[in-house]
């Protein structure tokens, strides 16, 4: 007997089982969620399988468990059945037994009907969210871009009649550029713009140090001016997080434009899940704008209507925008269906520079939409790693469990609950905010809005090639470490979770050299193996265009993806610098709840 064969009427139910629910032919379109089950061995060929989201548990034999293990995502029973049959190479004669097993698992709670999962959000009460406190523009030594952005904001205000409060947070090193930014603001009298000179002696940093003298060092690490040759991307993000503590606000890159553009492929309705973003690339902005026409909407108002909603409210609103599609929903996502779940971030898509410095794993893993687009344009495949003008986003509005955060173009932050600080220095500062948020708010969601804003740089990017080596960034090390350790944090209060995470970083900074090397090399190996697996899957996919396979095949030999000890060691960050960054970031995470609470209680 083959392992996948299942026999009817052999399942004994244990534990607290929800009321039976019998699937019928009329309800065959109902979606059933496959959670991340817990399996406990009982005997040589028997086990107990438990649904951690509702407590349901069933005793299965090895063949039955093999079938159940093939289920993933949120699908109809017929789709789960077809997937199991395909993955296990089951003959047609075994399909009825597979279906019978899946129906029993659905009746007894091991598979969860989507409405039952959504009911965990609770009741959708009348939305009571605070107004948007303002739109921040973090900038440093780029007054010409600030002028371009505020000119666009003036045009938006004239077109929509909606007036907003803008805040320019100026981290310029040059006094001349700070003066130029003030002149830019003065040249836009129709806008309400407030200027924040981060070099001023009466800055927020000095006021906080006076109010919380025992945290003077941590405040310096969060907010102090840059040293020689230092890039303080995180500093200019931490100022708004404290300035708007307890409030909702939006943030926009100074090299973005407030001219919303439609997706090349636009679909109605709402998508639920964690699908990869679609990517399309263009030779010029003229070609991109032709494919992505301007939209007559107010992007700020679009963010405001979703930011801060409870997920019960957001789901109810999504139901009013059919059709609703659910795809790429991992089993661990069941924990995000919680009464405390809310939309903590909103962001829209990008048309232009994608926002990464030299390389991103997104370059190697394309969506189904991008695959179909390339199939009709085989000559465009090679431009994927060179194009300076790209669309990256979704075809429709998407609600997804919070994974990361990108501040490229415009994003919304619900700072009515505590959000974590950014790493003060180095790239990926916005990503550290997103990842630490996932640690302290494990039920947070993101609303991805179905339009793009142009992101227009002055200088051309130089992207990584398969022959180039790339070290493992310090901030990426912090992100991966937080992702690995956050499941062990048991506190419910976000401030306590943040302090605990900070203590973990301080402990890591005190570890031996061997431990630090092991952590770094394990992270590098995980990244390399994950990307290599993704490339291999695309190379084996018969639906993938051959032109794209030719482009990604050389990456299997890239130094970035090698797994031998010497290659992993070469990608390691300097240990002394890693200790310093890890210890300092841990200290700021421990101090942040007190600093954030003081700013919330003493509005600026």
Report residue 328's pLDDT band, with 50, 70 and 90 as the boundaries: confident
305 or 408, which is more confident: 305
pLDDT classification of 359: cutoffs 50, 70, 90: confident
State the Cα–Cα distance between residues 576 and 545, nearest whole angstrom.
46
Query: Residue 13 pLDDT more than 80?
Result: no
* pLDDT over threshold 80, residue 184: yes
Q: Which among 24, 29, 219, 22 has a CA at the least distance from the CA of 106?
A: 22
User: What is the number of other CB atoms lying within 10 angstroms of the CB of residue 526?
Assistant: 12
| pTM, two decimal places | 0.90
Do residues 446 and 402 lie in contact, with contact meaning Cβ atoms separated by under 8 Å? yes
Indicate the SS3 state at residue 132.
Answer: strand
The arrangement of secondary structure in 12-121, i.e. its CATH architecture, is: Alpha-Beta Complex (3.90)
The predicted structure's pLDDT at residue 126:
67
Burial bucket for residue 2 (CB in 10 Å: 0-12, 13-18, 19+) = exposed
Q: Are 557 and 194 in contact (CB under 8 A)?
A: no
Q: For residues 253-274, give the mean pLDDT.
A: 92
CA dihedral 112, 113, 118, 119 (to 10 degrees): -90
pLDDT above 70 as % of the chain: 94
Given a contact cutoff of 8 angstroms between Cβ atoms, the answer to whether 270 and 343 are in contact is: no
- Residue 275 has a pLDDT of 83
Label residue 360 left, alpha or beta by phi (over 0 means left) and psi (-120 to 50 means alpha).
Answer: beta
For residues 490 and 486, give the distance between their C-alpha atoms in angstroms, rounded to a whole number.
9
Give the pLDDT mean for 378-404.
86
pLDDT above 50 for 3 = no
Task: Give the least confident one: 7-16, 294-303, 559-568.
Answer: 7-16
pLDDT greater at residue 159 or residue 524: 159
User: How would residue 50 be classed by pLDDT, with cut points 50, 70 and 90?
Assistant: very high
Give the mean model confidence (pLDDT) for residues 216-226: 92
Among 125-134, 467-476, 532-541, the minimum mean pLDDT is found in 467-476
Which DSSP symbol is given to 133?
Answer: E
Residue 1 predicted with pLDDT over 90: no
Q: What is the pLDDT of residue 25?
A: 37
Cα–Cα distance between 277 and 393 in angstroms, integer? 5
* pLDDT score at 470: 67
**What span, in angstroms and rounded, lies between the C-alpha atoms of 604 and 601?**
9
Instruction: With cut-offs at 50, 70 and 90, classify the pLDDT of residue 452.
Output: very high
Q: Are 370 and 482 in contact (CB under 8 A)?
A: no
Across 157-175, average pLDDT:
96
Quick check: 124 and 314 in contact, CB under 8 A?
no
CA gap 479, 581 in Å, rounded: 12
Q: What is the pLDDT of residue 355?
A: 77
DSSP tag of 70: T
d(CA 413, CA 78): 40
Domain ranges of the chain: 12-121, 132-252
DSSP symbol at 564: S
End-to-end CA distance of the chain: 72
């Amino acid at each position: 007997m083959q392992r996948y064969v299942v026999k009817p009427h052999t399942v004994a139910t244990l534990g607290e089982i929800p009321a039976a629910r019998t699937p019928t032919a009329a309800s065959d379109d109902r979606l059933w969620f496959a959670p991340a089950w817990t399996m406990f061995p009982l005997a040589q060929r028997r086990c107990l399988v438990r649904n951690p989201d509702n407590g349901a548990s069933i005793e299965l034999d090895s063949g039955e468990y093999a079938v159940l293990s093939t289920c993933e995502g949120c699908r109809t029973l017929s789709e789960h059945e077809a997937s199991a049959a395909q993955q296990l190479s089951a003959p047609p004669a075994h399909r009825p037994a597979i279906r019978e097993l899946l129906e029993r698992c659905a009746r007894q709670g091991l598979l969860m009907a989507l409405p039952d999962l959504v009911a965990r959000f609770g009741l959708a009460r009348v939305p009571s969210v605070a107004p948007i406190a303002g739109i921040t523009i973090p900038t440093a030594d780029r007054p010409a871009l600030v002028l371009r952005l505020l000119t666009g904001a003036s045009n938006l205000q004239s077109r929509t009649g909606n007036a907003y409060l803008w805040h320019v947070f100026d981290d310029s090193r040059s006094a001349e550029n700070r003066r130029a930014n003030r002149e830019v603001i003065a040249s836009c009298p129709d806008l309400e713009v407030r200027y924040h000179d981060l070099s001023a002696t009466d800055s927020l940093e000095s006021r906080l140090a006076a109010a919380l003298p025992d945290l003077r060092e941590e405040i310096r690490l969060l907010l102090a001016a840059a040293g020689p040759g230092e890039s303080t991307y995180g500093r200019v993000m931490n100022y708004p997080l404290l300035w708007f503590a307890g409030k909702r606000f939006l943030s926009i890159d100074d090299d973005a434009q407030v001219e919303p553009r439609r997706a090349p492929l636009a679909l109605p309705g709402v998508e639920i899940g964690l699908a990869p973003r679609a990517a399309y690339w263009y030779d010029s902005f003229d070609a991109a704008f032709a494919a992505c026409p301007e939209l007559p909407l107010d992007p700020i108002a679009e963010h405001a209507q979703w930011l801060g909603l409870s997920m019960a409210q957001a789901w109810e609103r999504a139901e009013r925008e059919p059709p609703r599609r659910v795809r790429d929903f991992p089993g661990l996502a069941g924990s995000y269906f919680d009464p405390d779940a809310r939309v903590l971030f909103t962001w829209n898509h990008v048309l232009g520079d994608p926002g990464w410095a030299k390389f991103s794993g997104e370059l190697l893993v394309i969506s189904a939409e991008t695959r179909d687009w390339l199939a009709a344009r085989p000559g465009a495949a090679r431009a994927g790693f060179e194009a300076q003008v790209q669309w990256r986003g979704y075809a429709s509005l998407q609600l997804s469990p919070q994974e990361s955060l990108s501040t490229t173009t415009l994003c919304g932050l619900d700072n009515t609950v505590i959000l974590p600080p950014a790493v003060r220095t180095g790239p990926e500062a916005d990503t550290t905010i997103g990842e630490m948020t996932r640690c302290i708010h494990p039920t947070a969601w993101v609303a991805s809005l179905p339009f793009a804003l142009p992101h227009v740089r002055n200088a051309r990017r130089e992207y990584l090639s398969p022959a180039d080596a790339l070290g493992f960034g310090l901030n990426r090390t912090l992100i991966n470490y937080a992702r690995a350790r956050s499941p062990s944090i048991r506190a419910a209060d976000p401030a306590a979770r943040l302090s605990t995470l900070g203590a973990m970083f301080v402990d890591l900074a005190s570890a031996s050299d061997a431990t630090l090397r092991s952590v770094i090399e394990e992270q590098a190996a995980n990244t390399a193996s994950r990307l290599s697996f993704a490339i291999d899957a695309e190379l084996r996919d018969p639906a993938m265009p051959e032109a794209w396979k030719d482009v990604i095949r050389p990456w299997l030999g890239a130094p970035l993806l090698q797994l031998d000890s010497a290659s992993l060691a070469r990608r390691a960050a300097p240990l002394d610098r890693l200790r310093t960054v890890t210890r300092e970031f841990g200290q700021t995470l421990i101090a942040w709840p007190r600093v954030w609470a003081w700013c919330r209680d003493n509005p600026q």
